[in-house]
Amino acid sequence: MRIITYNVNGIRAAVKKGFIDWLKTDPADVICLQEIKAHEVDVPKADIESAGYEVYSYSAQKKGYSGVAVLTKIKPNLVQYGNGVMQSDSEGRVIRVDFGKITLINAYFPSGTSGEERQGYKYQWLDEFYEYITELRKTHPKLIVCGDYNICHKAIDIHDPVRNKNYTGFLPEERAWMDKLFDHGFIDTFRVFNKEPNQYTWWSQFAGARANNKGWRIDYISVTEPLAKKLKHAEIYPDVKHSDHCPMYMEMTD
């Protein structure tokens, strides 16, 4: 199974930048999208299906905001929209797709960039989401959590850890949540295969950040320990440019 996670920062904008042509190159079997910024009727499903993928999308109630989608060439045996938490579901942040005994969660974690209120909600969401996946693991131990986590875990994951230590996305409380995740049975698949610095998945759209590779690694594919032996490869695709993020790829054996 080949999986990609990719914050497209607006699915319709990405399509205008060649997203469908990229899909036709067969980049993965399952592609998890975040921040599609489109209601279901506005998701270009026919174009995506022409590239060989089934589309399952979950949109925010607010127009042009948030939302997630799973594009898949593998037929799922279950699709579940939302995680049962009212505010998270109204913002279209979580979609679950089961492939046999493997359960995949595609999640768009909140950002705290708009102020203290949203930062407070981010902490609330993190607690609610951790409870959700902890309960799910009791019955579905082979779990994959893809998405834009909106958190850099360690100093190696951000271009300037000193100057950014007080910025949302690299705050001690956020990083501690990541510690908890990886200390309790989840694996950061990218770091299994890639130990080098200067590898990022998001860049500011200002001051030539992407051209100068001044980025943040905030997009992850995490798996539970029962899937560890199945991991085959993981990498980031910084040259794919339909968004201010880039795709992250992970491959597992059957």
Tokens of 241: 């440019």
Query: Are 62 and 79 within 8 A, CB to CB?
Result: no
Query: Are 142 and 227 within 8 A, CB to CB?
Result: yes
CA pseudo-torsion sign 218, 224, 228, 230: negative
Q: How far apart are CA 70 and CA 33, in angstroms?
A: 6
Residue 3 φ/ψ, nearest 5 degrees:
-125, 140
Alpha-carbon separation of residue 210 from 102, 151, 165, 202, 226 (angstroms): 35, 18, 20, 8, 36
Any idea which residue has 């913002």 for tokens?
91
Angle at 243 between CA 239 and CA 249, to 5 degrees: 55
Q: How far apart are CA 52 and CA 29, in angstroms?
A: 10
Tokens of 5: 């996670």
Note if 148 is an active site residue. yes
| Catalytically annotated residue among 148, 157, 188, 219 | 148
Angle at 94 between CA 90 and CA 95, to 5 degrees: 115
Active-site residues, by number, are: 148
